[in-house]
Amino acid sequence: MNKMVNLKINGIPVTVPEGTTILQAARQAHIEIPTLCFLKDVSRVGSCRMCVVEATGARGLVAACVYPVAEGMEVRTNTDKCRQSRKMTLELILSKHKKKCLSCERNRSCELQRLSLGYDVDEDRFKGEDFNLPPDESTPYIIRDNDKCINCMRCVAACKKQHVNAIGPIGRGFNVHIGSAFDRPLSESPCVGCGQCIVDCPVGALSEKSNIDEVWEALSDSTKKVIFFTAPSVRATLGEAFRMPVGTNVEGKMVAAIRRLNPHAVFNMDVTADLTIMEEASELINRIKTNKPMPMFTSCCPAWVKFVEQTYPEMIPNLSTCKSPQQMFGALLKTYWCEKNGVDPKNLYVVSVIPCTAKKYECGREEMKGDVDAAITTRELARMIKTAGIKFAELEDEEFDNPFAIATGAGAIFGATGGVMEAALRTAAHMMDGSFEVLDFFAVRGSNPIKEATYLVAGHTIRVAVASGLDNARKIVESIKSGEKKYDFVEIMSCPGGCVNGGGQPTRSDAVRNSVELKEARAKALYTADCGNEIRRSADSPAMDLLYNDYLGFPNSHKAHEILHTTYKPNKII
């Protein structure tokens, strides 16, 4: 048991475990100390100096985010000395910051802006040298504008945490900036497009490459039929962009809002999440029976797939050949739906609403190009809804359009880490043993970075693992390569916590990020929806009966492979 330490913060007695920082102790006393470089579970380096406080025993101001408490310490967080230091820090940061707030997508959700208002700064007190660096727009998913960067290093910490290390500080002193090795474009780095750097950035230096304008253009084109479909996790996060509590399921309002953008139809991607399970579960059973490369890795996360192609090309045969639910839906719409409705696929414009920036990259993959015309993030959809003047919170719930409004099976839980695994186990176990009726696989749930479980099904021992975050993915792969671990099926999500914490989800203030467990609250909304469904197994979904009986034949059929499966190739970064 940790030794307890007694101290006072602004005269308030506080007792905390030894090793606690002043910042953590202050929160226990309901005192908020401002931060910029600090972000819980991501970055704690004490470099920005916004969190400076006075503490007994220290010769000067100390950074509260890294300075440990001590017995009998007295801390003062709001002295004139602290306030003046923070104000000067902000004014120095602003001296080399592109101050185009009205045209910045982080306007009114920017930590620098919020703190500057709170400390009544003079934004022009110091005049710095303008770099005038052109934004890096070399990838299809991220824009980096270093003239807005404040060098807090949170994006670097996020990338390092992912074990990708695509970016880092370049130069020294006043000329330091963030970039890829040798100042190459981001497209020539190991970046996989997960977008964790975007959601961790406190300002507008990083953003997704927006597809909003081209979607508006398609909606205005009378020759186009525009179809939207939404990923499972979006229903659990979109409400946050409209000041709703974290974890609010806004599926009905989301459908109503999109319908008011006037597309031809709004469909539910849960359908192709279930379809992915049907194909993936069948593929897994086939691999088990035919001794094909094992374990089989899930392939629904494009950042993970790119990571394998770049870092572990020798493991490509272990990837499931299934397209992701996004690409499956696009492919189905441009084949099955167009045939049934007499529509020329050239006149169909398909828009996916997704929690992920890497999905933008996936749309353009040569193997799947044309399936989906535009992928917009949860943030982009929220901006479109606001631009259209739609009062989101006041909307009555509406339902998805047919034929993809019919009840789905386990697709809803795809947005949480372990959800794909659980959905697959529900169906694969039933396919192998018709009397296997277990629907809840609790061992693969939760936000733990790595989860393992073993199940006995029809005489077969099925060893599974689930990992979220690419650092944990690397640990799993290395343990397999070394022979330390043996699995049959492995689910990997590149974003910690899964799609609910994707790089395209609503950006939240540091106050929320540091005090609320976003991953858990958002995932809970998806599992609650799943528990409330009458049908909880993909194989039992009427949508699967419709698609296979009417068009595809059976899982892993020749036609299913033509439309729903893909290939991968090594993609080594120089």
Q: Is 331 helix (H, G, I), strand (E, B) or coil?
A: helix
Q: How far is CA 86 from the centre of its chain?
A: 32
Q: How far is 37 from 49, CA to CA, in rounded Å?
A: 8
CB-hemisphere CA count at 13 Å for 539? 19
Could you tell me which residues come within 8 angstroms of residue 222 by beta carbon, excluding any fewer than 6 positions away?
Answer: none
Is 298:280 a contact under the CB 8 Å cutoff? Answer: yes
Phi, psi of 83 (to 5 degrees): -65, -45
Could you tell me which residues come within 8 angstroms of residue 435 by beta carbon, excluding any fewer than 6 positions away?
Answer: none
Strands 52-55 and 62-63: antiparallel
CA-based nearest residue to 6, from 77, 59, 74, 65? 74
AA identity, residue 26: A
Q: How far is 342 from 329, CA to CA, in rounded Å?
A: 18
R_g of the chain, CA atoms, integer Å: 25
The residues annotated as belonging to the active site are: 280, 283, 300, 320, 359, 362, 367, 499
Cα–Cα separations (whole angstroms), residue 340 to 264, 333, 357, 547: 15, 10, 32, 12
C-alpha torsion sign, points 56, 120, 145, 516: positive
Q: Map tokens 């497009």 to a residue.
A: 193
Count of CB atoms within 10 A of residue 59's CB? 5
Phi, psi of 145 (to 5 degrees): -115, 95
CB-hemisphere CA count at 13 Å for 559? 11
Could you tell me which residues come within 8 angstroms of residue 464 by beta carbon, excluding any fewer than 6 positions away?
Answer: 421, 425, 444, 452, 453, 454, 455, 487, 488, 489, 490, 491
Q: How far is 7 from 342, CA to CA, in rounded Å?
A: 74
- Give me 17's structure tokens: 């475990």
DSSP state of 496: T
Q: How far is 416 from 258, CA to CA, in rounded Å?
A: 23
Q: How far is 194 from 469, CA to CA, in rounded Å?
A: 10
